[in-house]
A and B are shown apart, each in its own frame.
Chain A
Amino acid sequence: MKESSKKRKAPKQAAPAAPLEGMHIEVLGEVRRFERRLSHAPEKVWRALTDAKELAAWFPAIMEGARERGASLRFVFPAGEAPSTEGNVSEGRITEHEPPRLLEYTMGSETLRWELAAIPEGTLLVFTTEVKLTSAPANDNAVEACRMAA
């Protein structure tokens, strides 16, 4: 099964190394895309992605909340894997929920999208993760001052 699995990584956008004065924040978002061919039916893969008991076996956090579009989610991470400001918890929301084809939800500043397509051998899973800034630049003065000082 391993040989048939495929990963693909989208090229990374603007690494945050150089001074960023004058740059817009959109370029700081990063999308990663993974593709896996699974020899399991979409319904089964869907259970692995949504059922709390199944998630516990592989997902990096405990996912709490109803499994329906618009539902609020709460992710509890094991110590050491969570963003420090949020403690061990990240908030999220289900934005797409179409069993067993499409699941999309936010987890903190990250958006996870799971697309399942039936193929002869089972399921083609396309997983994309995007990290976005959730808060707008609230302090324009600081940015302006930053540009002037550069």
Chain B
Amino acid sequence: MMGMLSTFEIVAEPHRRRILELLREEERVVGELVAELGLAQPAVSKHLKVLREAGLVTAEIDAQRRVYRLVAEPLRELEAWVAPFRRHWAKHLDDLERHLASMPDDPQDRKTAAARTTRRTQSTTRSKR
């Protein structure tokens, strides 16, 4: 398994992202990638070397040509890392506040929680000490 840092740095480079996008559609040989990216072949080869060493693509020799394919697994690790950033904590804290308002102050009173809700103003006042 490779580190997140590597995946992150590697995917941050726009040309490498473009290569990954192209490989997502179908496998390609270097010549096709050179044409699509509009970069010189040595530059494309360097990017492919980085992607290969990071395990993001594989290269298979087919009739003397290297065919590049996408490997999705490291990208899923990246996705797992990014996921917490999408969590909406402000919303969850709003939900917490709303739930607190419906909870009984005394844990023994759980069964009467519904009845308590109507007297919430009173109990809130009481909790101010």
Contact = CB atoms under 8 A, between A and B. Distances in A.
A122 B89 contact: no
The interface size bin for chain B is 35 or more
B83 interface: yes
A148 B46 contact: yes
Interface string B48-63: 0110011100000000
B100 A40 contact: yes
A5 to B, nearest CB: 7
A127 B9 CA distance: 30
B84 A139 contact: no
A36 B94 CA distance: 10
Interface of B: 1-6, 8-10, 12-14, 46-47, 49-50, 53-55, 76-77, 79-81, 83-85, 87, 89-90, 92-93, 95-103, 105, 107, 124, 127-129
13 contacts: A19-B13, A39-B127, A57-B102, A108-B83, A120-B128, A120-B129, A131-B84, A135-B3, A138-B2, A142-B54, A142-B55, A143-B9, A146-B6
Interface of A: 1-2, 5, 7, 16-21, 23, 25, 28, 30, 32, 34, 36, 38-41, 44-45, 47-48, 54, 57-60, 81-86, 107-110, 120-122, 127, 129, 131, 133, 135-139, 141-143, 145-146, 148-150
